[in-house]
Amino acid sequence: MKKGLTNWQCRDYVTKLKPFQNKNKTLYGDWTDANTYVVYSYGSHFPIYAWVRQTNRWYANEDRYSRTTSKHMSQVRPPFEFSLVSTSFLKSLAIQGFAAIAAARVIHGEIF
């Protein structure tokens, strides 16, 4: 994991799906499993972006956040199209992975 980056330097790491941490340790990204890359602002309780290999898609947090987290989001925003999802969905992606979420939704008859 590359540490000590400025927030603006972190964007390149997000784009390339590489682990990183900013200088004051308030912004970081890493793989949570072999298929899910997640970017956090101020800890694992608030994921701001995730990329999922199975869907080849970025997901962004649509929930309200602090001014500094909003700044983090704009500074590291991936230059790709993404889907807006809730904090709880992003946390589930980070903890369980996409396959587990998809399986649970199929069992319960939910549609993404």
pTM > 0.85? yes
pLDDT in tens, 30-57: 999 999 999 999 999 999 999 999 999 9
| Positive or negative: CA dihedral 13, 24, 69, 49 | positive
Q: What are the residue boundaries of the structural domains of the chain, listed by start?
A: 2-107
pLDDT digits (tens, 9 = 90+) for 57-102: 999 999 988 999 999 999 999 999 999 999 999 999 999 888 887 7
